[in-house]
């Protein structure tokens, strides 16, 4: 068995479906099925249970997968360490970030990093912050930009903290603008949180930072807006706000992506989502990961 075949097993466990796993691995489904049957015959045990809902590891399969992940991770760590001895001329960084933060952060960071280190590739995984914590925990990522406080990685060291201000977004001319308040000192136009309760609000899922923040603030201030029928990611929420009378929370840093919308600081406030970069054990020992972190 080689390292490529270890990746076959891990992909099968993640996808829980032979067809999807084969598609992700760019191989024929029949070849992947043959590989599993051959390996199970060699080991003398069943590694996956086939059901109408998909395939799932047996107890033996889970045990074998644990060793497969460890071996594959050790190989990747060793390979990156060797590459890094060549003055960061080669290597790969597995980096996790939420989609909407990636939209406004990564283009410039990747441009600057690759201009300095063209031989180092950065593999991007886009998931919610909580899902990315599990990826770090399971060794699927070297590093990730996560919302704080951490939910899964309780004792993890946090590097390079930063904040994003949470703002209410609405279409120009929205009726809520009549309830906005101008700060007499700064001249900043702000919106009382209590005013949001009179309108339709688009919630992001609770496991996303803006979704969690909205629920926390509305509970704290006893505000009960009419919920939009579907929970949406911040990017999709922004698109819906463009063409409707719905409201949503967004990051101040996203304002350049939809400059036609109105971005209102919250009153009382300001409120922020705190972010931090977290390394997996293998990422913490990677010179390339530490250098990449400096670009944020």
pLDDT band at 1 (very low <50, low <70, confident <90, very high): low
Distance CA 78, CA 132 (A): 23
Place of tokens 């460890």: 70
pLDDT of residue 188: 93
Q: Which of 240, 260, 231, 237 is nearest to 250 (CA)?
A: 237
User: Considering 71, 86, 117, which residue would you say is the last residue of a domain?
Assistant: 71
Spell out where 52-106 has E strands: 54-57, 91-97
pLDDT of residue 85: 52
Task: List Cβ<8 Å contacts ≥24 apart for 133-138.
Answer: 133/278, 135/96, 136/96, 136/278, 136/279, 136/280, 137/280, 138/69
Q: Which of 253, 295, 248 is nearest to 272 (CA)?
A: 253
Instruction: Read off the CATH number of the domain in which 187 is found.
Output: 3.40.190.290
CA distances from 78 to 12, 92, 184 (A): 24, 12, 60
- Residue 13 lies inside a defined structural domain of this protein: yes
pLDDT band at 187 (very low <50, low <70, confident <90, very high): very high
Taking the C-alpha atoms of 172, 174, 179 and 185 in order, what is their torsion angle to the nearest 10 degrees? -10
- Residue 105 lies inside a defined structural domain of this protein: no
pLDDT band at 219 (very low <50, low <70, confident <90, very high): very high
Distance CA 162, CA 98 (A): 15
- Residue 4 lies inside a defined structural domain of this protein: yes
Q: How many domains does the chain have?
A: 2
- Residue 280 lies inside a defined structural domain of this protein: no
pTM > 0.85:
no
Place of tokens 């047996």: 58
| Strand pairing category for 226-227 and 200-202 | parallel
pLDDT band at 77 (very low <50, low <70, confident <90, very high): confident
- Residue 64 lies inside a defined structural domain of this protein: yes
Mean per-residue pLDDT, 250-277: 91
User: Considering 39, 71, 103, which residue would you say is the last residue of a domain?
Assistant: 71
56-70, 155-169, 207-221: lowest mean pLDDT where?
Answer: 155-169
- Residue 289 lies inside a defined structural domain of this protein: no
Domain that holds residue 35: 1-71
Place of tokens 């590097």: 159
Taking the C-alpha atoms of 36, 38, 41 and 42 in order, what is their torsion angle to the nearest 10 degrees? -110
- Residue 107 lies inside a defined structural domain of this protein: no
| Res. 155: pLDDT tops 90 | no
Distance CA 70, CA 151 (A): 24
pLDDT of residue 84: 65
User: Considering 16, 51, 71, which residue would you say is the last residue of a domain?
Assistant: 71
What's the mean per-residue pLDDT of the chain?
Answer: 91
Instruction: Read off the CATH number of the domain in which 21 is found.
Output: 1.10.10.10
pLDDT digits (tens, 9 = 90+) for 84-108: 656 677 889 999 998 888 888 899 9
Task: List Cβ<8 Å contacts ≥24 apart for 184-189.
Answer: 188/265, 189/264, 189/265
Q: What is the DSSP letter of 90?
A: S
């Amino acid at each position: 068995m080689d390292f490529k075949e270890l990746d076959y097993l891990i992909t099968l466990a993640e996808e829980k479906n032979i067809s999807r796993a084969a598609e992700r691995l760019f191989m024929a489904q029949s070849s992947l099925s043959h590989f599993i049957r051959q390996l199970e015959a060699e080991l003398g045990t069943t590694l996956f249970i086939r059901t109408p809902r998909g395939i799932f590891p047996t107890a033996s399969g889970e045990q074998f997968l644990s060793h497969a992940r460890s071996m594959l991770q050790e190989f990747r760590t060793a390979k990156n360490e060797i590459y890094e001895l060549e003055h960061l001329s080669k290597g790969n960084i597995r980096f996790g970030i939420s989609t909407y933060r990636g939209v406004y952060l990564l283009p410039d960071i990747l441009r600057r990093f690759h201009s300095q280190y063209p031989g180092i590739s950065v593999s991007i995984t886009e998931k919610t912050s909580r899902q990315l914590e599990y990826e770090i925990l399971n060794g699927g990522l070297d590093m990730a930009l996560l919302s704080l406080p951490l939910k899964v990685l309780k004792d993890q060291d946090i590097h390079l903290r930063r904040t994003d201000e949470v703002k209410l977004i609405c279409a120009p001319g929205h009726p809520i603008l009549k309830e906005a308040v101008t700060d007499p000192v700064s001249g900043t136009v702000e919106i009382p949180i209590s005013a949001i309760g009179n309108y339709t609000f688009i919630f992001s899922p609770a496991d996303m930072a803006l979704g969690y923040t909205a629920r926390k603030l509305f509970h704290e201030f006893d505000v009960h807006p009419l919920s939009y029928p579907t929970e949406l990611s911040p990017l999709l929420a922004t698109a819906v706000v463009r063409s409707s009378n719905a409201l949503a929370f967004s990051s101040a840093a996203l304002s350049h992506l939809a400059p036609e919308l109105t971005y209102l600081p919250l009153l009382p406030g300001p409120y922020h989502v705190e972010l931090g970069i977290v390394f997996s054990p293998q990422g913490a020992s990677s010179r390339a990961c530490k250098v990449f972190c400096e670009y944020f």
